[in-house]
């Protein structure tokens, strides 16, 4: 068949050269189209970096956190290639504080927000998906070109929600922050963690800077805006019971809002009893860590001991984690707390060298005292006798 076709075209003067020229032109056009398509894809990825921004839910009534904002803004120094880890208790207001700090620093674009929403996602692959890149080479080039157009490093925010539990996710963030952020200086990398277990597992070979967003301080609670906040969410009843709500919430902004809103449909006593009941259940689940095996790789049953030590210490001083370091670390405690859903005791870390175990609120602190006293009484040997 091929010979017949060749013979047929050979009878037409100039036909074979014409076909060859047509094929060459077609190949050239195809190559040019591919190159143009690749250029458009690269430009699209660069534009995605440049025009990306970070958004957070903005409360209608804001409680000023001046010191938090000052610290966060300082951490956004793009001349410092150190990755930044921002973490804190659930509902502590981390995302909004970061949003405000970015706004104050003048960073409104060039911020790629990568949310690692489940246990199957890893940082590098999810970033490539966000940019529409086929692989690392394209993503890295997009960050480099974006930096030239922005005249600064782009910012990559890796967010690890509370629901994520696979340590492979945080390891991927550690590796990304270290290699793409610190070593290659492709972006300023910020890791936003909503659980202590993830935050304490993050490790960029000590190259990172850590910042924990704490609950409202006693001084912050005295601001006039707290009154306005409570009135907005819970009306006059919330303002009337301000000290009680702070006692129950421990200064956690999100929990304070939830308690205030509950007062719109319930009495304060109903809200208080429901909150205390939930806190008692969390304490029992914390004690249950011993029954589940305990803390750390050696499964040390020390939940009741930790609870006793936290209860005996002043609420604002807590207990140093180093006192338990020969048996388990703060990371082990945080992982067990998350697994059990027992958030009555959390890890407070003003610095990595000063990590402490603390009660979630003054009301939890008081309950821990009662519960551990009761446990101690029940475990003491009974005296035999007529009574």
Map residue 112 onto helix, strand or coil.
strand
The tens digit of pLDDT for each residue in 51-99 reads: 999 999 888 899 999 999 999 999 999 999 999 999 998 888 999 999 9
Strand order, beta sheet including 345-351: 319-320, 354-359, 345-351
256 Cβ contact partners less than 8 Å away, ≥ 6 residues apart: 216, 229, 230, 245, 246, 249
From the candidate CATH numbers 1.10.10, 2.10.260, 3.40.50, 1.10.3470, the one assigned to the domain spanning 283-379: 1.10.10
DSSP β-ladder status, 188-193 and 209-213 = unpaired
Q: Residue 9's pLDDT band (boundaries 50, 70, 90)?
A: very low
Distance CA 293, CA 299 (A): 5
Domain boundaries, the chain: 66-213, 283-379
Between 8 and 161, the higher pLDDT residue: 161
| Within this chain, domains 66-213 and 283-379 share the same CATH topology | no
Average pLDDT, integer, range 343-367: 92
Strand order, beta sheet including 188-193: 111-115, 155-160, 188-193, 84-88, 209-213
Q: Residue 24's pLDDT band (boundaries 50, 70, 90)?
A: low
Q: Residue 383's pLDDT band (boundaries 50, 70, 90)?
A: very low
Between 133 and 25, the higher pLDDT residue: 133
Give Cα separations from 331 to 177, 211, 347 (angstroms).
20, 16, 8
Distance CA 230, CA 222 (A): 12
Residue 273: count other Cβ atoms within 10 Å of its Cβ: 12
> May I ask the CATH architecture of the domain 66-213?
3-Layer(aba) Sandwich (3.40)
Closest to 168 in 3D by CA, of 118, 218, 220: 118
User: Which pLDDT does position 325 carry in this prediction?
Assistant: 94
- As a whole-number percent, the residues of the chain with pLDDT over 70 amount to 89
User: Which pLDDT does position 189 carry in this prediction?
Assistant: 98
User: Which pLDDT does position 350 carry in this prediction?
Assistant: 75
Q: What is the DSSP letter of 292?
A: T
Lowest mean pLDDT among 14-18, 153-157, 223-227, 290-294: 14-18
User: Which pLDDT does position 89 carry in this prediction?
Assistant: 84
Distance CA 361, CA 302 (A): 21
Yes or no: say if 87 and 196 are a contact pair by the CB < 8 Å rule. Answer: yes
Torsion of CA 280, 90, 253, 221, to 10 degrees: 80
Tell me the H-state helices in 52-93: 66-75
Question: Exposure of 319 by Cβ count < 10 A (0-12 exposed, 13-18 middle, 19+ buried)?
Answer: buried
The tens digit of pLDDT for each residue in 274-305 reads: 999 999 999 999 999 999 899 999 999 999 99
Q: Residue 17's pLDDT band (boundaries 50, 70, 90)?
A: low
- As a whole-number percent, the residues of the chain with pLDDT over 90 amount to 78
Between 381 and 227, the higher pLDDT residue: 227
């Amino acid at each position: 068949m091929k010979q017949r076709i060749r013979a047929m075209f050979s009878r037409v003067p100039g036909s074979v050269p014409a076909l060859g020229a047509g094929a060459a032109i077609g190949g050239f056009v195809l190559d040019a189209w591919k190159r143009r398509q690749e250029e458009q894809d690269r430009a699209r990825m660069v534009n995605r970096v440049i025009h990306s921004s970070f958004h957070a839910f903005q409360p209608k009534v804001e409680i000023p956190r001046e010191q938090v904002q000052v610290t966060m803004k300082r951490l956004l120094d793009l001349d410092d290639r150190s990755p930044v880890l921002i973490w804190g208790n659930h509902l502590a207001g981390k995302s909004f504080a970061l949003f405000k700090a970015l706004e104050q620093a003048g960073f409104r674009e060039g911020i790629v927000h990568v949310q690692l929403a489940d246990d199957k996602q890893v940082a590098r692959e999810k970033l490539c998906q966000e940019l529409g890149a086929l692989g690392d080479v394209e993503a890295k080039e997009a960050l480099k070109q974006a930096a030239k157009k922005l005249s600064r490093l782009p910012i990559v925010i890796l967010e690890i929600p509370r629901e994520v539990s696979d340590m492979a996710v945080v390891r991927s963030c550690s590796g990304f922050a270290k290699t793409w952020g610190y070593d290659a200086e492709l972006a300023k990398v910020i890791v936003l963690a909503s659980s202590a277990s993830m935050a304490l597992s993050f490790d960029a070979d000590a190259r990172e800077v850590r910042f924990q967003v704490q609950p409202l301080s006693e001084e912050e609670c005295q601001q006039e805006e707290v009154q306005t906040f409570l009135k907005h969410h819970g009306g006059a009843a919330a303002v009337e019971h301000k000290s009680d709500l702070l006692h129950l919430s421990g200064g956690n902004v999100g929990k304070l809002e939830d308690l205030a809103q509950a007062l719109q449909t319930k009495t304060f006593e109903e809200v208080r009893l429901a909150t205390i009941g939930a806190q008692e259940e969390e304490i029992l689940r914390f004690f249950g860590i011993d029954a589940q095996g305990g803390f750390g790789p050696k499964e040390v049953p020390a939940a009741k001991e930790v609870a006793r030590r936290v209860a005996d210490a002043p609420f604002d001083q807590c207990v140093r984690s180093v006192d338990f370091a020969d048996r388990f670390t703060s990371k082990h405690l945080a992982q067990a707390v998350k697994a059990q859903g027992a958030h009555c005791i959390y890890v407070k870390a003003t610095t990595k060298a000063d990590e402490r175990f603390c009660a979630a609120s003054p009301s939890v602190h008081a309950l821990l005292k009662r519960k551990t006293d009761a446990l101690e009484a029940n475990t003491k040997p009974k005296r035999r006798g007529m009574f």
